[in-house]
A and B are shown apart, each in its own frame.
Chain A
Amino acid sequence: MKKTIALSLIAIFIFSLIPLAFAESGGGPSGDVSANAEADAESGSGRLGVLVSAREIKEEHKERLRILKEDQRAKIEALNAEKIGRLSNLSSEKLRKIAELDKRQIDRLSALNMKNLDKITELKKERLERISKLSEEKLKRLAELDKEKLEKISDLNETEIEKLAVLNRARLKELAKLEKEKIKLELRAYKIIRVKNIKDLNDKNITDEELALLRQRFEDAKANLSAAKEELNEARKALKEAINERKEELVLLNSRFYLLKSINLLIFQLEKTKIVVKANEHISDEEEARIIADIDAQISDLNSFKAEVEAATTKEQFKELAGKLREKWRELREVKLLLHAEIVMVARVKGLVKRTEVLEKRLDKILARANEINISINVSLEMELFSEKIATAEDKYKQAQAKLAEAFNLSLTNETANIDTTKELIREVRELRKEAHEALKQAHDVLKIIVLRIRIAKLDADISADIEVEVVQ
């Protein structure tokens, strides 16, 4: 009995080791060795088999092309074997349709993968004729759409198709969902620009020297602000001491001192914001002028306060001025400074969206080139995700920008009734800007994976080089 129990336990133990043994042999080197050995053993007959089947396929392709007229067949036979293979796999009707196009159009269409080629050749001849005039890169992007959308788009005129094909994947998908007339209307608002250097996308031109000067001024403003804060702390200490010692004259003197230091501190903060606005390349000159005028108006208000503080002599006057300054500080803290800060932040996000859009287009060019030289890099899912994230960021920042404009205009009215609405708008802008920022961070993470895949494929590509691309504004 005992013997039986012992044997059963041993059997259980041995059985429990079996899965482990399988796991090791699956991924371990011994597995590879046996696989290689098998491959070696079969390689002789295998190679022969491949040659025979390749010849058979070639014959089959030739046979399929015989249905075409001689001049049409010549256009197709001039392509590489891979492209001929793809075209020969099409139905006779589709093959004839494609063969009627010019050589360059055939070449571009045959570069599509089989699935998209089959889909696109379902289009009527006139539509196929229009759509195949696009470059290989653009055609590839459009061919990713489903049949229904493709039909709708190929019905547009050539200029509209060209404009649409410049959009990135995500925006293209969104627009293709609309009705034909709405697509036409949307396209009218788009402007295509050619960008070689990322700086071409800036809303204003700042030279490197100007930028360096602004940076220096920003550092100086920061230092001034820090020193003003120290002085304010000392003034507060002195004021407290005077209040505790109940020395009326000293209290008034230190009140004046504290009020003047507070005003200086606020002016330095506003000056710092002014520099950041000026240094932002995505705030246009016109927009900058409006913001600077608003900041200058605040500084001017504070300087008027300063004159009033200097002229004040009585306790009541100081008390009243402290109340007024507190109110001004609240307005600056809750509306003006917050609003100006959001303008700068949203502009920064806008700049980053534009830059990543250019990178998407550059990657498209790089991947198209890889395809031409038969380097396979499968990043279509990543490219789609990258595009989606950029589109989300763009959508969010544009919403933020619209709300920001509304908040800015409301803040200029100086009406108390508008304060709450302005504050709510600023809160919404902040949320949208943060969402846009998050989407961009996710896009950047995907971008890093794409860059890595390109490296692994050993494709000699430089995404940092100034490659000219088209973007929509």
Chain B
Amino acid sequence: MKKLLFFIFVLMLISIAACKQAAKEEVMEKKEEVTAPEAPVEATGEVVVDAVGNDLNSIQIVEKDLGTEDLNELDSGLQDIENI
């Protein structure tokens, strides 16, 4: 009888452990979803739809192209001359 009790106990432990593991995996998957970087446009095969998707993404590139971040060092050089 003791053996049977022990067997059932072990069986329950295993099922509890398996349940916990499954729950943990689900949480981890959800976390990945949140932190995942923005995916590139998925093609639908419809030319106009995909073209709109690509143009939506390219707005950021144009913004960067027209930005002045790359010219920020200009200021410090001019300051050097003001202080000569």
Complex alpha-carbon distance, A233 and B73, angstroms:
9
Contact among A5, A326, A440 with B82 in the assembled complex (CB-CB below 8 Å): A326
How distant is the Cα of A232 from the Cα of B8 in the complex, in angstroms?
Answer: 79
A448 touches B8 (CB 8 A): no
- Interface pair B59/A349, CB less than 8 Å apart: yes
In the assembled complex, the Cα of A269 lies from the Cα of B44 at a distance in Å of 37
Residues of B within 8 A of A344 (CB): 62, 66
Interface residues of A in 322-379 (CB under 8 A from B): 322-323, 325-326, 329, 332-333, 337-338, 340-341, 344-345, 348-349, 351-352, 355-356, 359
Stretch in contact with the other chain, from A133-141, A164-172, A254-262, A286-294: A254-262
Q: Is the CB of A341 within 8 A of B48?
A: no
Answer yes or no: A183 CB below 8 A from chain B CBs. no
B52 and A355 contact, CB distance less than 8 A: yes
B27 contacts the other chain (Cβ, under 8 Å)?
Answer: no
| Interface pair B5/A5, CB less than 8 Å apart | yes
Contact of A259 among B12, B44, B59, B81 (CB under 8 A): B81
Given contacts A448-B49, A464-B48, is CB(A255)–CB(B81) below 8 Å? Answer: yes
| Contact residues in A for B28 (Cβ distance below 8 Å) | none
Q: Mark A229-257, 1 if CB is under 8 A from B, else 0.
A: 10011011001100100000001000100
B1–A6 CB distance below 8 A = yes
A351 to chain B: closest residue by CB: B55
* B46 → A minimal CB distance (Å): 5
Q: Chain A residues with Cβ under 8 A from B37's Cβ?
A: none
Q: Give the interface centre of A5, A255, A273 by most chain B CB atoms within 10 Å.
A: A255
Q: How far is the CB of A346 from chain B (nearest CB, A)?
A: 10
Q: B68 and A337: CB pair below 8 A?
A: yes
A282 to chain B, nearest CB (A): 11
- The size of the chain B interface, using a CB distance under 8 A, is 37
> Do B48 and A345 touch (CB < 8 A)?
no
Q: How far is the CB of A261 from chain B (nearest CB, A)?
A: 9
Whole-angstrom distance from the CB of A367 to the nearest CB of chain B? 15
A9 lies within 8 A of chain B by Cβ: yes
A348-B59 in contact (CB<8A): yes
Which of B10-66 touch A at CB < 8 Å? 11-12, 15, 42, 44, 46-49, 52-53, 55-56, 59, 62-63, 65-66
Residues in B with CB closer than 8 Å to A341 are 63, 66-67
Q: Which residues of A contact B47 (CB under 8 A)?
A: 464
The answer to whether A329 touches B75, judged by C-beta atoms less than 8 angstroms apart, is: yes
A39 within 8 A of B: no
* A329 and B48 form a contact (CB under 8 A): no
Q: Is A447 an interface residue (CB 8 A)?
A: yes
Residue of A nearest to B58 (CB): A348
Cβ-based interface call for A272 (8 A): yes
What are the residues of chain B within 8 A of A235 when measuring CB–CB? 77
The chain B residue sitting closest to A450, CB to CB, is B49
Asked if A345 and B68 make an inter-chain contact with CB atoms under 8 angstroms apart, the answer reads: no
Question: Residues on B close to A: CB < 8 A?
Answer: 1-2, 4-5, 8, 11-12, 15, 42, 44, 46-49, 52-53, 55-56, 59, 62-63, 65-68, 70-71, 73-75, 77-82, 84
Q: Can you list 12 A-B pairs, Cβ within 8 angstroms, ordered by A?
A: A236-B73, A236-B80, A258-B78, A258-B80, A272-B66, A326-B78, A341-B63, A352-B55, A355-B52, A444-B53, A444-B56, A448-B49
